[in-house]
Structure 1
Amino acid sequence: MQMERAQLNFLAMLAVLLLAIDQAFGLWTCRQYPHPQQNVCRADFVVRGEILKKESIPISDEYDFGSLEKYTVKVKRIYKGEEFMSESSKLVHLMALANCGPYLEEGKRYLLSAKFDEDSKQLRTDNCLWNVEWSEITQGQRQGLKHFYEKYCQTPGQNRHPKKCEIVEGVQNYFGGNAIVKPSRCFYQGGVCERLHSSCIRKPTGACGWTTNTNYRSCKELERQRR
C-alpha cells in the first residue's frame, strides 16, 4: 500500500514538474512585443471582464509545488470564444500558475485572453497572452477588437483563407525575390504605432495592409521627427 502511494506521489510530482517546465519554457520564448491581433489569433478566448474573486489553490496537498490562481471573471463583452461561456451565466473561471502570472486584482476590469487546455478542460492564461487593464487599451485597439482582429485572423499553419491576413514579423524584402511578398501578409517589426493604433485587414484592392487613422498618422509623424 505504501509502495502504491509512493508511486502515485511520484507521478503527481512528475506531472506538476512537466507542467511547470512547459509553462516556463513558453514564457521564456514569448515574443516581447507581439501585435495585439497576433495575440487574439493565438488565443481561444478573449473577453473584457471584471475580476470578482481570486483564489490560490495548492497544486499538491503534501508537497510545496506552488499554487494555481483561480480567477472568477464577470464577462462584460466577448470578442472570441463564445462557446466557452454558459448561456445562463456571465461568469467564467480562468486558471494560471501563480509564478507565471498574470497578476490580476479583484475589482479591476481587464482585457483577458486564455487558451483552452484539453487535458484539464480549463481556460488557462499566463503572461504570454494579452492580459491588460481595460483603461490601458487604446482607441485603435478597441476598434480592432470590435471589428478587425478576429475577422481578419489567419492563424499560422492553417489553410490560407482568401479573406484573412497573416501578420509576419520582420522586414518586407522587395529586392530579394518575391517569395515573401504576398498580398495575404502584413509585415510587422514591433512598431509602436502599429501595435497601438492599427489593424491588419484586407484592403479594397484585395491585398492585406495596415489601417490608418488620425492617431496612427500622428504616431508615425512623431517617429519621423525623432529620427
Structure 2
Amino acid sequence: MEKSAKLTCLVVGFLAVCIGCIHTCSCYWPDPLENGCRFDYSLRGVVLNVRNVNGRGIPDREYLVYVQRYYKAIPRRPRFVRIRSARQGASCGVQLQRGERYVISGSVNGRRLRTNLCTYTRTWDRIPYWQQQNQHCHLGVSNQISAPS
C-alpha cells in the first residue's frame, strides 16, 4: 500500500512539472531589444483602463491606452487603442499599470493589437534618455542603437 502511494505522488509530481513546462514563456532574441521596430506597431501612451476579458482559451487582460505618439504606426492611427495581453506571465503576459506611461510594441492580428513579454514594452520613465530619443522606426535603418560616447 505504501509503495503505491509513493508511486502516485511521483506520477502526480512528474505531471505537474510537465504541465508547468508546457506553459512557460520564453523569448528568443539574439541581441537585446533597443526599441519596438521589429514588431508590427510601436507607440508611447498612457494606460487609462485595465479589464479582464476572455481570449482564445487563455484569459486576457485588455488595456485602454491613450496614444501620445506612434513610433511605428498601424494603418489607422487612433488616439485611443485597446491592447490585449495574456493575464499570466507564464503565457508571456504583461501587466501594465493604470496611469503609467509606456512604450508598447507588439503584433496586429486583423484589427486587434497584442503585446507580451517578448516585445519591447517598457515604462517610459525607466528608459534611458538617449534611448527615449531613438524610438522612431525608419525603413532601412538598423534597430540597434548604441549609447552616446
Instruction: Report how far residue 106 of structure 1 moved.
Output: 0.6
Partner of 1:29: 27
Match of 1:55 among 28, 51, 55: 51
1:92 corresponds to: 81
Find the aligned partners of 1:116 and 1:82 in 2 and give their Cα distance.
8
Pair 1:93–1:31, CA change in 2 (3 A):
same
Amino acid at match of 1:129: T
TM-score if structure 1 supplies the norm length? 0.48
Contact 2:38–2:143 (Cα < 8 Å) also in 1: no
1:76 aligns with 2:68: yes
Identity between Structure 1 and Structure 2 (%): 24
CA 1:44 to 1:59, structure 2 compared with 1: closer, same or farther past 3 Å? closer
Give 1:82 shift. 4.4
Aligned pair partner of 1:108 in 55, 75, 100? 100
Q: Distance in 2 between matches of 1:123 and 1:113?
A: 9
Q: Which runs of 4+ in 1 moved over 6 A?
A: none
TM-score normalised to the size of structure 2? Answer: 0.71
Contact 1:68 1:95 in 2 (8 A): yes
**Alignment map for 1:146-165 (pairs within 5 Å):** 146=136, 150-151=137-138, 154=140, 164-165=141-142
Q: How many residues get paired?
A: 125
Structure 2 equivalent of residue 46 of structure 1? 42
Alpha-carbon distance, 1:145 to partner: 1.3
Say which structure is richer in helix: 1
Measured in 2, the distance between the counterparts of 1:53 and 1:67 equals 17
| Structure 1 residues 84 and 125: CA distance shift in structure 2, 3 A | farther
Change (3 A) 1:165 1:48: closer
Summarize the alignment of residues 210-221 of structure 1 with structure 2, pairs less than 5 Å apart: 210=146, 213=148, 217=149
| Map of 1:131 onto structure 2 | 121
Q: Is the 8 A contact 1:94 1:114 kept in 2?
A: no
Change (3 A) 1:29 1:137: closer
Is 1:144 the counterpart of 2:134? The answer is yes
The answer to whether the 8 Å contact 1:56/1:69 transfers is yes
Report the Cα offset of residue 28 of structure 1: 1.6
Q: Which has the higher contact order (CA 8 A, sep 6+)?
A: 2
Q: Please list every run of 5 or more consecutive structure 2 residues that lacks an aligned counterpart in the other structure.
A: 1-21
Secondary structure of 1:102's partner?
A: coil
1:72-131 residue CA offsets vs partner (Å, 9 max, x unmatched): 000111111142423xxx10010111122211011111111121114xx31111000011
The structural deviation recorded for 1:32 is: 7.8
Which is higher, the Rg of structure 1 or of structure 2? 1
Gap change, CA 1:165 and 1:66, over 3 Å in 2: closer
SS in 2 for 1:76: strand
Q: CA deviation at 1:35?
A: 2.8
Q: What runs of 5+ residues in structure 1 fail to find an aligned partner?
A: 1-20, 155-163, 168-198, 200-209, 218-227
Are residues 78 and 67 of structure 1, via their aligned partners in 2, closer, same or farther at CA, if it must alter by over 3 Å?
same
**Which of the two has greater strand per residue?**
2
